[in-house]
Amino acid sequence: MRNTCFEILLTYLLICLYSCSIADTHENIQVSPKFASLNIDTTIVVKNISEIAKEIKYVPLQSSNANLIGAVDKVDYFSNMLFVLDKKISKALYVFDTSGKLLYKKKVNEGELDRIASISDFSIDKKNKTLWLYSSGERQILKFTLPEGGYLKRLKVNGYFSDISSVDSGRFVLLRDGLTKYADKYNNERVCLFDSNGNVIKSWLDQPLNHQVSAGMIIKDQSPINDNHLLICRMFDDTIYSINNSRLEAEYKLPLHSDISSIQDERSMLLFIKDYPTSFVTGRNIFNTQRYLALYVKRGDIVCLLLYDKTQKSGSIFKALINDFDNISLPMVDYMDDSCFISLADPSQLQQQYHFVSNSPNFTTKYSQLIKLNDVITRRSNPVVIFGKLK
């Protein structure tokens, strides 16, 4: 009996010590010395793509019955390689070259992912040329070399997160939001910084945006221009934060009206989202280049691109980018850096546009690029990559 009591006491002390070690990682948000309220005209307008881009080219991605992308959940671009994640249908990460040729794929239940049933997110460490794959279901992280995709190691994370982002020196950040409480060892922290071995170093944001309603997600900087500087934003918050040298800082203020702190229930939340004057950050990514800061915002039923020009210190909100080069309808931007933007067009939508405009005047000259694409795609083709060269 004495040994049993001792074991219970020892277990309790170990749990307390472990909990304290996790709690000690928590830090408060700081305000960046460069904090700025962004000057953005919130009137929704349209914009010709030629105002920001020099040219556009189209690359159909290689298609085969064994390598069909069901839905595009995330796109990244590095070292002339295009990374396309399909979470739910094919459950694979595809890697293509700039000609559209498939180089390789990482698919669940195959190869190094034989014990993985889902891929929740991926991140590219561009400085160290490595690829991180994260599975929230299995709570595992796999690391691969780039460009060849060779397997390096596997880490276990004992908590639920939705997103992963690499930062400096092989470290990474795991992100989550939405739930009011998380029942794991990370004490409800929404943002956790880990070392390269999977040990939590620092953590932030331990409070939900609303204590009655589980809502929202983290929107993050997809391709950081500085490996010490990762931008994140909470879906219904009007502040963009940066993880900068192991500190979480408030960096930008957005001119949005999306406070959900007083909402009492799910029904009120749905009404709030549908209310047209309400604007809030949505989408998957923040695009942060030397010149532009861009992200998607939702107003009523419209998803718009907020584009801020850092050189002009002004921005606008666009409900559409008009392709005045060749009149092909442009989908949402999936990637942006200082040289280009990338969008992936669904083949069926391109075919629909072709049939819709095929009887219009000057069809063969006005839609010559669309005609070329329609000749090489089918409804079962993989997406067409749209590369826009920025000015």
235 vs 222: which has the higher pLDDT: 235
Q: Look up residue 58 and give its amino acid.
A: Y
Phi-psi map region of 35: left, alpha, beta (phi>0 left; psi -120 to 50 alpha)? beta
Return the minimum-mean-pLDDT range out of 15-19, 47-51, 62-66, 193-197: 15-19
Token pair 């349209």 in the structure block, residue: 46
Token pair 């010149």 in the structure block, residue: 291
Class of domain 38-63+72-390: mainly beta
Q: Give the model's pLDDT for residue 15.
A: 41
Span 211-233, pLDDT tens digits: 999 999 999 998 776 666 899 99
Mean pLDDT of 262-275: 89
Q: Give the model's pLDDT for residue 17.
A: 41
Span 63-115, pLDDT tens digits: 998 899 999 999 999 999 999 999 999 999 999 999 999 999 999 999 999 98
Q: Is residue 54's pLDDT more than 90?
A: yes
Q: Is residue 168's pLDDT more than 90?
A: no
Q: Is residue 183's pLDDT more than 80?
A: yes
Sign of the alpha-carbon torsion through 362, 365, 366, 370:
positive
Q: Look up residue 33 and give its amino acid.
A: P
d(CA 165, CA 142): 13
Q: Is residue 24's pLDDT more than 50?
A: yes
Q: Give the model's pLDDT for residue 227.
A: 65
Sign of the alpha-carbon torsion through 67, 68, 73, 79:
positive
Q: Give the model's pLDDT for residue 18.
A: 43
Q: Give the model's pLDDT for residue 16.
A: 43
Helix spans in 131-184 (H)? none
Mean pLDDT of 141-158: 96
| Residue percentage of the chain with pLDDT more than 70 | 93
Span 316-365, pLDDT tens digits: 999 999 999 999 999 999 999 999 999 999 999 999 999 999 999 999 99
| Residue percentage of the chain with pLDDT more than 90 | 81
Q: Is residue 147's pLDDT more than 80?
A: yes
Mean pLDDT of 33-43: 94
d(CA 125, CA 226): 11
Q: Give the model's pLDDT for residue 225.
A: 67
d(CA 121, CA 133): 6
Q: Give the model's pLDDT for residue 74.
A: 96
Token pair 């991926």 in the structure block, residue: 122
Span 297-319, pLDDT tens digits: 998 889 999 999 999 999 999 99
Q: Is residue 124's pLDDT more than 60?
A: yes
Q: Is residue 294's pLDDT more than 60?
A: yes
Q: Give the model's pLDDT for residue 7.
A: 46
d(CA 136, CA 140): 7
Give the Cβ contact number of residue 17 at 10 Å.
Answer: 9
The SS3 call for residue 199 is: coil
Q: Is residue 20's pLDDT more than 50?
A: no
Q: Give the model's pLDDT for residue 22.
A: 57
In this prediction, residue 23 has a pLDDT band, given cuts at 50, 70 and 90, of low
Do 347 and 384 contact (CB within 8 A), yes or no? yes
Q: Give the model's pLDDT for residue 222.
A: 80
Token pair 């460490």 in the structure block, residue: 125
Mean pLDDT of 195-201: 94
Q: Is residue 19's pLDDT more than 50?
A: no
Q: Give the model's pLDDT for residue 202.
A: 96
What value does the mean pLDDT of the chain take?
91
Within 8 A by CB and 6+ apart from 110, the residues are none
